[in-house]
A and B are shown apart, each in its own frame.
Chain A
Amino acid sequence: MAHERGNSDELQLTREFPAKVPGSHLSTAILAPGVLENRSQPLRLRTGTVIVLLVVSNVLGNFSLSRGLHQVGRLVSFSPWPYIHAFLNPLVAVGVLLLMVWLISQLSLLSRVDLSYALPATSVSYVLTALMAEFLLHERVSAERWIGIGLIGLGVSLVARSVPRTAPAHKFGDLPYEAAQ
């Protein structure tokens, strides 16, 4: 059965590439030396927390940036000046700050998990945007949109149940992962 085979494939991969499972990095073994020497502790964020930060900063950042840019007006230009002028708008500035948070969380997420595991995080923003339209702005959300939201939710839950990291950590074109250890 496809289901059975898929499961055993993925279990095998955990053995081949020992991935960091969310949660397991909070091991006391790493923190102990710092505690003993009274050094300041690193601010550790779980992978799940990084994903929440990523989604929230993406949605709010895009929302305030697009609101701000609508106030600024049309923006199709290959010269940098209209863009620099747009940064003077407070909504645009807040949006850009939030998108910097988004960039850092996106990059640190990619340092931990596969690209194909991180990709669905951006699709959650479509769901949140539609839910915001329905419940905050009281716009009617069409049946097609609800079906779309359902499909995105189903897809995200499927990807979320796969092994987060299978990509080898070696440099591009270097020795295989096993040999590099």
Chain B
Amino acid sequence: MKWLLIALIVIPGTIADLLNAMGMKRNGEVYDFRPRAIFRLIASLARNPYVGVGVPAMAVSFFALMALLSISKLSFAVPATASSYVLETALAKYILREHIGWRRWAGASLIGCGVLLVAI
């Protein structure tokens, strides 16, 4: 059950981040945060296929994390998410065609190690 939940946290979480990044880059930059503008944004995102799949995937990942936290310790749940920093940086390079310089590689690796240590 624990390992199923970890798979349900990591895989949909990664897919969600990639799809949301793709969808939001297509949507254009968001600068207006008045309530009406936010409702307009939500209405336009509802028709955005990338975000339409990305947000439910995010919800699956989130509820799986909540479920895992309710049956196990934080120190078991968090290390599973530590690997995602490096994994998602690599996927951002090859799928989203982001240019990852040495700062981002080093940063993502340090953060991954740091999250592992914090969880112990």
For chain A, the count of residues having a C-beta within 8 Å of the partner chain is 66
In the bound complex, residues from chain A placing their C-beta under 8 Å from that of B103 are 6, 10, 158-159, 161-162
For chain B, the count of residues having a C-beta within 8 Å of the partner chain is 61
Within 8 A of B (CB), among A97-140: 99, 103-104, 106-108, 110-112, 114-120, 123, 126-127, 130
In the bound complex, residues from chain A placing their C-beta under 8 Å from that of B118 are 126-127, 130, 144-145, 148-149, 152
- B26 and A20 within 8 A (CB): no
- B17 and A115 within 8 A (CB): yes
Q: Does A166 contact B (CB under 8 A)?
A: yes
Within 8 A of A (CB), among B30-77: 30-34, 37-38, 41-42, 45, 51, 55, 58, 62-63, 66-67, 69-71
In the bound complex, residues from chain B placing their C-beta under 8 Å from that of A147 are 114, 117
Within 8 A of A (CB), among B72-120: 78, 85, 88-89, 92-93, 96-104, 106-111, 113-120
Q: Which residues of B contact A (CB under 8 A)?
A: 1, 17-18, 20-22, 24-34, 37-38, 41-42, 45, 51, 55, 58, 62-63, 66-67, 69-71, 78, 85, 88-89, 92-93, 96-104, 106-111, 113-120
- Bound complex: CA A119 to CA B20 (Å): 12
Chain B interface, >50% SS class = helix
